[in-house]
Amino acid sequence: MGCNNHTMDLQLAHKVVLITGGAKGIGAAIARSAVREGAIAVIVDRDAPAAEQLQSELCDAGGKCHVVAAELTVAEDCSRAIQESVRITKRLDALINNAGVNDRVGLEDGSPAQFVESIQRNLLHYYSMAHHALPFLKESHGCIVNIGSKTAITGQGGTSGYVASKGAILALTREWAAELLPYGIRVNAVVPAEVMTPLYRQWLDSFPNPDEKLRNIVSKIPLGKRMTSADEIAAMVVFLISSQAGHITGQHIFVDGGYVHLDRALT
């Protein structure tokens, strides 16, 4: 394999990256990666104490990070989060739509009202944040990365609201990529499968034997028979918002050790 001596400079110094659900799990990993690359992270999360704890960790390490506490299921909070972020940082270069929860609102064990609530928790703020961010992304020729879920492709059972939201997010990624071409704004989705986060741990712990459940899941992940790390998701996100990914738009990129697409015979 031919190698050259060029390091990959992502050119993210002083770029402002806003991450929803940025206090924990995948969102926190994205905030850490962005700051390591010299970007300014804006963590938007309803868990203000967790967000502030991450902020002090990043700032203590010499990074730049701000927190906006917001409840994204409230439409006005989405608008306020963008306005407050821009008031503090004066610009916006990347929006990472990440907040969401696999809330298990199923077809059988759910109701139409719960389904609507799940869509509110998992989908509507992706649109609201992008809508309110757009004027600032036009100015910066910025970009959007939407965090999806393998469940939109594979199904899971018992989680209609979440899966409907994640399916819509993949469709909106293509739609926004098309609509925003004239502004040079790129839009992509990163699709994780099995990533150990606090929410994933909570889900595992709902089973009678969490360790056995985890072993069973990991045995079905083709590459390395291991979970994907949150840092591996973050690395792809940070690459996609960089100038190195300057001609990538409208893509659904699976960071999943081959979980979704490789032949089941391999596992």
Query: For residue 131, what pLDDT is reported?
Result: 98
Spatial separation of the C-alpha atoms in residues 63 and 146, rounded to whole Å: 24
Spatial separation of the C-alpha atoms in residues 2 and 16, rounded to whole Å: 34
Domains of the chain from N-terminus onward: 16-195+229-258 (3.40.50.720)
- Range list of β-strands (E), the chain: 16-20, 40-45, 64-69, 94-97, 143-147, 186-192, 252-255
pLDDT in tens, the chain (267 residues): 555 556 788 999 999 999 999 999 999 999 999 999 999 999 999 999 999 999 999 999 999 999 999 999 999 999 999 999 999 999 999 999 999 999 999 999 999 999 999 999 999 999 999 999 999 999 999 999 999 999 999 999 999 999 999 999 999 999 999 999 999 999 999 999 999 998 899 889 999 999 999 999 999 999 999 999 999 999 999 999 999 999 999 999 999 999 999 999 998
Q: Is 162 a catalytic residue?
A: yes
Bridge partners, 20 (sequence order): 44
Q: Among 140, 160, 144, which residue's Cα sits nearest to residue 152?
A: 160
**Dihedrals φ, ψ of 203, to 5°?**
-65, -45
Query: For residue 203, what pLDDT is reported?
Result: 87
Sequence-distant contacts of 167-174: CB under 8 A, at least 24 apart: 168/123, 169/97, 169/123, 169/126, 170/146, 170/252, 172/126, 172/127, 172/146, 173/146, 173/148, 173/250, 173/251, 173/252, 174/250
Question: Helical H runs in 123-159?
Answer: 125-140, 151-154
Q: Two tokens at 31?
A: 């905030």
Three-state SS for 220?
A: coil
Cβ neighbours, 10 Å, residue 223: 12
Query: For residue 141, what pLDDT is reported?
Result: 98
pTM exceeds cut of 0.75: yes
Spatial separation of the C-alpha atoms in residues 80 and 219, rounded to whole Å: 44
Spatial separation of the C-alpha atoms in residues 225 and 259, rounded to whole Å: 10
Q: Among 71, 86, 67, which residue's Cα sits nearest to residue 19?
A: 67
The residue annotated as part of the active site, out of 126, 162, 200, 259, is 162
Beta carbons of 242 and 10 less than 8 angstroms apart: yes
Cβ neighbors of 111 (< 8 A, separation 6 or more) are none
